[in-house]
């Protein structure tokens, strides 16, 4: 085992190795996996001196403790969880240099669910189908094809970044306050789905707030609420689905597909969450509420441009700090 490694002392509620690459086998029925908050992954990796798509740890609701076995940069982005390195606070959207033997401790997450923890050099697990992500449903990739456990030792690759600068970035405006209604619901923009017309009361989907049910995971959020009417015309043939698709199963209660979603499905696609807002949906927590806001392609493209503008601005700021 390389000296450049980190040891999981406690994984918290749930943690896994994820990167920004996509498994290259959707045609064979393999989902994409990867970080549920890609913007947080890219930003944390850049602060750590890594390539944007390097493998990192995705922690759900915080609570993890990680011992850093060699000197390296550490960066956090995503949900704020009152993290500390040997007692010194490390806020979300910031980075620091950690000495060998230091312990990173994450408190409970707030204002979000997923925190990305990146280490200078990236987590050096083998690529499977072009990705270092963990496919938890299929049990392969990442670290041993599973969620992390206490005692796991993760190898860290060599790092070209030698700077010891500690700094914090301005979080993206849309990350500061996820809740955007009087009831605390997270608003996510979505396009009308191709089978929306098959649902008699599809309009109700947009008018309601939907609770995220406990049966949710990285494959998708099962929503809870008064069922919509059964789709017209009965069963459908299977068709392609991707993260962001909102399906309506026969029970009339929607499912929002996330990063570990299957590749095909036979339920009507009543909506598609736009790419820029999928991370907002993934940062909402079980028991919380989602409100879907109908949008169009022009607004979806503008939202994507906003994300790209943030990444360009932060890339320049990070580069200046790491010189």
pLDDT score, position 179: 56
pLDDT score, position 200: 86
pLDDT score, position 240: 87
Is residue 19 a contact partner of residue 58, using CB atoms and an 8 Å limit? no
pLDDT score, position 121: 97
pLDDT score, position 1: 46
Angle (CA) 84 86 92, round 5°: 20
Query: What's the N-to-C CA distance of the chain in angstroms?
Result: 30
237: exposed, middle or buried (Cβ count in 10 Å: 0-12, 13-18, 19+): exposed
Show the low-confidence residues of the chain (pLDDT under 50): 1, 176
pTM, two decimal places: 0.94
- Report the 3 state secondary structure along 116-176: EEEECCCECCCCECCECCEECCCCEECCCCCCCCCCCEEEECCCCCCCCCCEECCCCHHHH
Kindly state the DSSP code that residue 27 receives in the 8-state scheme: G
Angle (CA) 67 70 74, round 5°: 65
Run of H or E residues at 47: helix 38-48
Per the CATH hierarchy, to which homologous superfamily does domain 186-303 belong?
Answer: Cyclophilin-like (2.40.100.10)
> What 3-state class would DSSP assign to 314?
helix
Q: Please report, for the chain, the start and end positions of each structural domain, with discontinuous segments joined by +.
A: 5-171, 186-303
């Amino acid at each position: 085992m390389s000296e450049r490694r980190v040891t999981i002392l406690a994984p918290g509620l749930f943690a896994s190795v994820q990167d920004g690459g996509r498994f290259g086998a959707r045609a064979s029925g393999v989902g994409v996996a990867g970080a549920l908050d890609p913007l947080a992954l890219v930003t944390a990796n850049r602060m750590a001196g890594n390539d944007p798509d390097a493998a990192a740890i995705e922690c759900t609701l915080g609570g993890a403790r990680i011992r850093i076995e060699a000197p390296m940069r550490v960066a956090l982005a995503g949900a704020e969880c009152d993290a500390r390195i040997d007692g010194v606070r490390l806020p979300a959207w910031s980075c620091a240099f950690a000495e060998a033997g230091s312990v990173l401790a994450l408190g409970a997450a707030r204002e979000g669910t997923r925190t990305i923890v990146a280490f200078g050099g990236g987590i050096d697990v083998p690529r499977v189908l072009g990705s270092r992500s963990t496919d938890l449903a299929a049990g392969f990739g990442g670290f041993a094809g599973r969620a992390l456990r206490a005692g796991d030792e993760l190898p860290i690759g060599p790092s070209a970044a030698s700077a010891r600068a500690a700094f914090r970035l301005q979080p993206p405006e849309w990350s500061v306050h996820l809740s955007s209604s009087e009831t605390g619901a997270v608003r996510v923009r979505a396009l009308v789905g191709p089978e929306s017309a098959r649902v008699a009361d599809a309009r109700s989907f947009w008018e309601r707030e939907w609770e995220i049910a406990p049966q949710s995971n990285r494959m998708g959020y099962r929503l809870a609420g008064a069922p919509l009417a059964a789709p017209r015309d009965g069963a459908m043939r299977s068709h392609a689905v991707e993260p962001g698709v909102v399906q309506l199963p026969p029970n009339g209660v929607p499912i929002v597909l996330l990063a570990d979603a299957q590749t095909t499905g036979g339920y009507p696609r009543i909506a598609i969450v736009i790419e820029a807002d999928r991370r907002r949906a993934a940062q909402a927590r079980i028991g919380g509420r989602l409100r879907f806001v109908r949008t169009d392609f022009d607004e979806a493209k503008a939202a994507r441009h906003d994300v790209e503008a943030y990444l360009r601005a932060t890339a320049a700021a990070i580069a200046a700090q790491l010189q």
